[in-house]
Amino acid sequence: MSKLESKIPAGPLAEKWTNYKATQKLVNPANKRRLDVIVVGTGLAGGAAAATLGELGFNVINFCIQDSPRRAHSIAAQGGINAAKNYQNDGDSVYRLFYDTIKGGDYRAREANVYRLAEVSNNIIDQCVAQGVPFAREYGGLLDNRSFGGAQVSRTFYAKGQTGQQLLLGAYSSLMRQVNKGKVDLRTRYEMLDVVIVDGRARGVIMRNLVTGGIERFAAHAVVIATGGYGNVFFLSTNAMASNGSAAVQCYRKGAYFANPAYAQIHPTCIPVHGEFQSKLTLMSESLRNDGRIWVPKKKEDAEAIRAGKLKPTQIKEEDRDYYLERRYPAFGNLVPRDVASRAAKERCDAGYGVGTGLAVYLDFSDAIKRLGRAAVEARYGNLFQMYEKIVDDNPYETPMMIYPASHYTMGGIWVDYELQTTIPGLFAIGEANFSDHGANRLGASALMQGLADGYFVLPYTIQNYLSDQIQVPRFSTDLPEFAEAEKAVKARIDRLMAIKGKQSVDSLHKKLGRIMSDYVGMGRNKAGLEKALVEIEKIKKEFYSDLRIPGDAYSLNVELEKALRLEDFIEIGKLMAVDAMHREESCGGHFREEHQTEEGEAKRNDEQFMYVGCWEYKGDDQMPELHKEELNYEFVKVQQRNYKQ
Amino acid sequence: MWLTNSSIGRKVVMSVSGLFLVLFLTFHMCMNLALVFSPEAYNAICGFLGARWYTLALTAVLAAGFFVHIIYAFWLTYQNRKARGNDRYAVNVRQKDVEWSSKNMLVLGIIVILFLVLHMAQFWYKMQLNELLHVDTTVNPHDGSYLVITTFQNPVMVALYVIWLAALWFHLTHGFWSAMQTIGINNAVWFNRWKVIGNVFTTIICLGFAFVAVALYIQYGIQGMDVPQMAH
Amino acid sequence: MEKTIDLTLKVWRQRDRKSKGQFETYNVKGISTDSSFLEMLDVLNEQLINEGKEPVVFDHDCREGICGMCSLYINGHPHGPDSAITTCQLHMRKFNNGDTITIEPWRSAGFPVIRDLMVDRTAYDQIIAAGGYTSINVGGAQDANAILIPKTDADEAMDSASCIGCGACVAACKNGSAMLFVSAKVSQLALLPQGRVEAARRARAMVAKMDELGFGNCTNTGACAAECPKSVSLSNIARLNREFIKAKFQE
């Protein structure tokens, strides 16, 4: 299994990254000018990578699906970014951040990668402050921190409830500086449709210009995928409307392995679904769990009365409320990791204690308001409360918020080695698009950390190890037959979809797929359900190819065509998720198999058999993918059952 | 030159010239007040100013101020309309918190200019210019008080001037704080302070002018006081 | 419990930048008052697709009010009649059964129409590229706590930095001026010691680019701040003016 060489450097954990940097090959400044790198995506990972590669002297072509890099969906992250600064003197350290992340990921992540992440986390904060990111500060002028799920220290840096926005704008401003210098060629409103492989190496991409509808070719010495996750496979998710998994699927179809597709994170604190026309779900920051208490009525009849509109939550007496997280997990209480909180909410609602439509629980601030005063609560969460009120038309200062879990983040993604290179040489994947650092579950405020770590501090080093032996390779022409062939295939794919001329819109089919995914491949999974999902996904695929309707022209601005191409790839991902979920006969992190739980209903891992990364190789459209395993060796931490009770 | 080729520079020119004109109005209003209480005093001031070299120099500066303010106004408006694009909105709503005057400064300015032409023909032409070039020998250029009082014996004139002053009031209430904002001496705290100061100041100026016109009409138009006339 | 309404929509349709656009009238029925404005447009588009027509093109992405992608000039207001929100956060409970809603694109020479309600806002990126950053490379930063920053300054910088670059300020301004956008970025960086270093250079470069791109002159009507979905304050414009004038006198 030479392809799955993880390339973890030798030596003690704390010295691996230092050793790597000391011995890796670099590219000298004159040669950097002769090397081109394509970066697809402009979020925290892509934007940071494009800017940094530009600063180093490489020629970067950077693509963005929106009209501006500043709109990448990293912008929506609210709560914060973790770093092991230990500014609060509460016992934090690089090792502790590493340990919490490994444990939070339910021992399904690679030790060396996670340690490196914890190591560079401190540099990220320094870098962002230097960029002018207005992090929250104390009156003394020092940076402030808050606590987040899965940690017992306060290590989360934040900028109001808009941390992702501020970090992204920092990366964006660095990127625009390079654009101004001519080092980055920025192309907005472009979507990737294929990766071009020449002599076994990634050498370019086929892009669709979303304004003209034209299919265009771009060549480079290396290709970096930073296109985020595939959470929109559920149709309803906290992801942006344009967030998609297509770039990852294209790499997968061209031979890159897809790792751990089943690891999808369902975020516990989202605004519940209101109706049939709903297009997306809105996240309420995890930071709310710092001061909010989650509960449902203790008595079923109270829950029923609330659902019928006969009782108000404020009328339920304290002793009749079930603060189920505090009850089940006394040590972490409302701050248990996301997978645990989500499952607990689902468990209560499935048992008939849900409020609202029946699929909602309360997040109550009345205690916090009593303890801290309304002004203090407003200062901390004012903008979130305002957002909630605009959407739901309820005042969370007076009546508890209603929340329910929703698809939020995907830990799975393109398999990469320690250098963030995929199984295709010259093809790299960073940020949410890769599988690497979060194992089976991601902790809050770690996505921003990973995206920026990959973009600013990891990829710009590791990519040079690859590019150093490319300096003799002259610039590629996009007239190579490989490019012509890839373009032809892309056009054939588009023409095929346009020619269907059926009756159903893309969205109506996507909703069907989403329902299957949430019902059978969502928070709770079992063998029968997954088998059913595979059958149903196959049916949708047939419907898609026989009854899809795309109005308009193929080679002009066509939003429906964009969505159709993405849905085609989501169907592939849906299948992959179900296959992976079925094969993994254990529960871990975001993957919960109902057959594998403890008597108390907690996730039960099977380390004997499943302590590996499940990597899937594409074997053709109608074939089952082939499984490859990257064994995970825990040399430095003691693997144990996750416990948030004590 | 940044005062012509940058948007902020052009606005600085508008602001500074505008504030200069406000200063002139303040002086003019104070001088007018004298007329209500003593026509002789008024004539004395006129005599002191008259067609002396320093007054002529100041008049030239004043004219330049007007000229710059007006030219820039048309220039900026032309650019602003171009920046708006070819298609106009089908629905236009004035936002709450947005002053009506702020969106109609050019229109208000044009009203002010039109009356200014009338005003110049009525007074400046017959006084300073007359003194200098003897353009109208039927009028005694040194007897400003007679000219003004006889003008405001006519209620139509009083009404016209009050309308003019109303337009001026609207123009200045926006113009004053806007000038402070443009030259950068504004912030969240001073925002409302400048607005209040501007409104109070503008109201004093406009009421001052209106008071003179109305008082003269009452004194000489209604009560029929004798109009004092300077001997030739 | 759920309330529904029927609406008449007057929607601007325009093929491309050069074509002449016009309003088309559509009826939508049974819209839940709990749905968002964009979900209402999704319903319209589903209806159009089912009729074999081309759906209305409009920009949108995060649908939670932070990416700045959605635009739409609704009944005379950028982002609609509700205050301090983006179009995607506007909910149909703000409308009544039988209402006629006029939906137009941002109209400004700086933001040409791409199709229907979608406009080109790359001018904003060009302004940021001209100087909306601190000129530091990755790697050289000192410890994040090395420079103390007064909380009030950090908070004020954060307020300025909350701009989402949606373009509502230009759309609302009768002069098509981009001053609120530019001033928000200049203010954020001028307020922080890290950005102070090149404050003068930044103000000059960004204003020059803004002027070059054909945005209008600010006449302080305040319509921008009144319509800004993030309530970015006019005091930023005063600060930009101050920074710019200072920079010019330093030249």
Do A486 and A601 sit in the same domain of this protein? Answer: yes
**Per-residue pLDDT for A2 more than 70?**
no
Do A183 and A123 sit in the same domain of this protein? Answer: yes
Spell out a b/e string for C187-208, using b for 16 or more CB atoms within 10 Å of the CB, else e.
bbbbbbebbeebbbebbbbbbb
Q: Which of A355, A386, A407 is the last residue of a domain?
A: A407
**For chain C (length 251 residues), average pLDDT per consecutive 10?**
89 96 97 95 97 96 96 97 94 96 97 97 98 96 97 97 98 97 98 97 98 97 96 97 96 84
How many CB atoms are located within 10 Å of the residue C94 CB? 16
Q: How confident is the model at residue A600 (pLDDT cuts 50, 70, 90)?
A: confident
Mean pLDDT of A264-274: 93
Amino acid at A357: T
Do A329 and A245 sit in the same domain of this protein? Answer: no
In chain A, % of residues over pLDDT 90: 91
Active site residue A343: no
Nearest to A114 by CA among A97, A92, A91: A97
Do A32 and A140 sit in the same domain of this protein? Answer: yes
Give the pLDDT of residue A296: 97
Give the pLDDT of residue B121: 93
Helix (H, G, I), strand (E, B) or coil at A526: coil
Read off the tokens for A47: 């934007």
Spell out a b/e string for A536-570, using b for 16 or more CB atoms within 10 Å of the CB, else e.
bbeebbebbeeebbbbbeebebbbbbbbbbbbbbb
Mean pLDDT of A496-516: 97
Q: How confident is the model at residue A1 (pLDDT cuts 50, 70, 90)?
A: very low
Spell out a b/e string for B184-204, using b for 16 or more CB atoms within 10 Å of the CB, else e.
bebbeebbeebbeebbeebee
Range of the domain at A253: 2-264+409-470
Contact A141 C133 (CB under 8 A): no
Q: How many domains does chain A have?
A: 3
Q: Return the biggest CA–CA distance within chain B.
A: 64
C32 lies within 8 A of chain B by CB: no
Closest residue on chain A to C202 (Cα): A177
Question: To the nearest whole angstrom, how far is the Cα of C102 from the nearest Cα of chain B?
Answer: 7
Do A173 and A237 sit in the same domain of this protein? Answer: yes
Residue B47 domain-assigned (yes or no): yes
Tell me which chain C residues have a C-beta less than 8 angstroms from the C-beta of B5.
Answer: 211
**To which H or E segment does residue A374 belong?**
helix A374-392
Comparing A258-267, A312-321, A373-382, B188-197, the range with the smallest average pLDDT is: A373-382
> Pairing relation of β-strands C77-78 and C113-115?
unpaired
Give the pLDDT of residue A117: 98
Contact C64 A508 (CB under 8 A): no
Residue A82 domain-assigned (yes or no): yes
> Which residues lie below 8 Å from residue A280, measured CB to CB, with a gap of 6+?
A236, A237, A238, A239, A240, A241, C63, C64
Question: pLDDT digit string (tens) for A359-390?
Answer: 999 999 999 999 999 999 998 888 889 889 98
Do A360 and A465 sit in the same domain of this protein? Answer: no
Nearest to A186 by CA among A67, A270, A324: A67
Read off the tokens for A147: 């606590």
> Which residues lie below 8 Å from residue C24, measured CB to CB, with a gap of 6+?
C10, C11, C13
- Range among A144-158, A573-587, B122-136 rated most confident: A573-587
Decide if A514 contacts A236 (C-beta within 8 A).
yes
Residue B174 domain-assigned (yes or no): yes
C176 lies within 8 A of chain B by CB: yes
Q: How confident is the model at residue A593 (pLDDT cuts 50, 70, 90)?
A: very high
Do A290 and A309 sit in the same domain of this protein? Answer: yes
Give the pLDDT of residue C9: 98
Mean pLDDT of A304-312: 94
* DSSP per-residue string spanning B152-198: HTSHHHHHHHHHHHHHHHHHHHHHHHHHHHHTT---HHHHHHHHHHH
Angle between the N-to-C axes of helices C235-250 and B188-216, in degrees from 0 to 180, rounded to the nearest 10: 90
Mean pLDDT of B130-159: 92
Decide if C235 contacts B186 (C-beta within 8 A).
yes
Nearest to B170 by CA among B142, B141, B140, B205: B205
Decide if A155 contacts A145 (C-beta within 8 A).
yes
Q: Which of A470, A493, A508 is the last residue of a domain?
A: A470
Residue B75 domain-assigned (yes or no): yes
Residue B227 domain-assigned (yes or no): no
Range of the domain at B195: 10-84+102-222
* DSSP per-residue string spanning chain B: -HHHHSHHHHHHHHHHHHHHHHHHHHHHHHHHHHHHH-HHHHHHHHHHHTT-HHHHHHHHHHHHHHHHHHHHHHHHHHHHHHHT-SSPPS---PPTTS-TGGG-HHHHHHHHHHHHHHHIIIIIIIIIIHHHH---TTS-TT-HHHHHHHHHTSHHHHHHHHHHHHHHHHHHHHHHHHHHHHTT---HHHHHHHHHHHHHHHHHHHHHHHHHHHHHIIIIIIS-PPPP----
How many CB atoms are located within 10 Å of the residue A472 CB? 7
Categorise residue C55: left if φ over 0, alpha if ψ from -120 to 50, beta otherwise: beta
Tell me the Cα Rg of chain B.
20
Q: How many domains does chain B have?
A: 1
Domains and CATH numbers, chain C: 4-114 (3.10.20.30), 122-250 (1.10.1060.10)
Contact C238 B102 (CB under 8 A): no
Residue A129 domain-assigned (yes or no): yes
* C209 or B1, higher pLDDT: C209
For A38, list phi and psi in degrees, rounded to 5: -95, 130
Nearest to C192 by CA among C232, C147, C247, C153: C153
Do A105 and A202 sit in the same domain of this protein? Answer: yes
DSSP conformation class of C55? P
Q: Bridge partners of A362? A: A295, A402
How many CB atoms are located within 10 Å of the residue B207 CB? 14
**Per-residue pLDDT for A11 more than 80?**
yes
Question: Which CATH number is A533's domain given?
Answer: 1.20.58.100
Do A33 and A146 sit in the same domain of this protein? Answer: yes
| C:178-207 residues touching chain B, CB 8 A cutoff | 179, 207
Give the pLDDT of residue B96: 84
In chain A, % of residues over pLDDT 70: 100
Question: Which CATH number is B74's domain given?
Answer: 1.20.1300.10
The mean pLDDT of chain A is 95
For A240, list phi and psi in degrees, rounded to 5: -70, 165
* Rounded-to-integer distance, Cα B179 and Cα B190, Å: 13
Contact C234 B178 (CB under 8 A): no
* Rounded-to-integer distance, Cα B94 and Cα C227, Å: 11
* Rounded-to-integer distance, Cα A544 and Cα A574, Å: 14
Residue B111 domain-assigned (yes or no): yes
Closest residue on chain B to C242 (Cα): B184
| C:74-103 residues touching chain B, CB 8 A cutoff | 75-77, 102
Do A532 and A594 sit in the same domain of this protein? Answer: yes
Question: Which CATH number is A55's domain given?
Answer: 3.50.50.60
Question: pLDDT digit string (tens) for A278-297?
Answer: 999 999 988 899 899 999 99
* DSSP per-residue string spanning C65-134: S-S-----EETTEET-SSSS--GGG-BGGGS-TT-EEEEE----TTS-EEETTEE--HHHHHHHHHH-S-
Closest residue on chain C to A159 (Cα): C158
Question: pLDDT digit string (tens) for A401-424?
Answer: 999 999 999 999 999 999 999 999
Q: Bridge partners of C13? A: C22
* DSSP per-residue string spanning A166-220: HHHHHHHHHHHHHHHHTSEEEEESEEEEEEEEETTEEEEEEEEETTT--EEEEE-
Do A583 and A510 sit in the same domain of this protein? Answer: yes
| C:105-124 residues touching chain B, CB 8 A cutoff | 107-112
| C:218-237 residues touching chain A, CB 8 A cutoff | none
**To which H or E segment does residue A460 belong?**
helix A459-467
Contact B83 C177 (CB under 8 A): yes
Could you say which of A71, A208, A293, A338 is catalytic?
A: A338
* Rounded-to-integer distance, Cα A241 and Cα A154, Å: 33
Give the pLDDT of residue A381: 87
* Residue among A21, A66, A71, A78 with most chain C CBs within 10 A, to mutate: A71
Read off the tokens for A190: 């472009």
Residue among C55, C60, C161 minimizing CB distance to A560: C55
Q: How confident is the model at residue B232 (pLDDT cuts 50, 70, 90)?
A: low
* Rounded-to-integer distance, Cα A564 and Cα A503, Å: 13
Residue A630 domain-assigned (yes or no): no
* Rounded-to-integer distance, Cα A113 and Cα A117, Å: 6
**To which H or E segment does residue A645 belong?**
none
Decide if A567 contacts A506 (C-beta within 8 A).
yes
Mean pLDDT of A154-166: 94
Contact A393 C93 (CB under 8 A): yes
Do A255 and A382 sit in the same domain of this protein? Answer: no
Residue B1 domain-assigned (yes or no): no
**To which H or E segment does residue C13 belong?**
strand C4-13
Q: Neighbours of B (≥3 Cβ pairs closer than 8 A)? A: C
Residue A114 domain-assigned (yes or no): yes
**Per-residue pLDDT for A77 more than 70?**
yes
A–B touching, 3+ CB–CB pairs within 8 Å: no
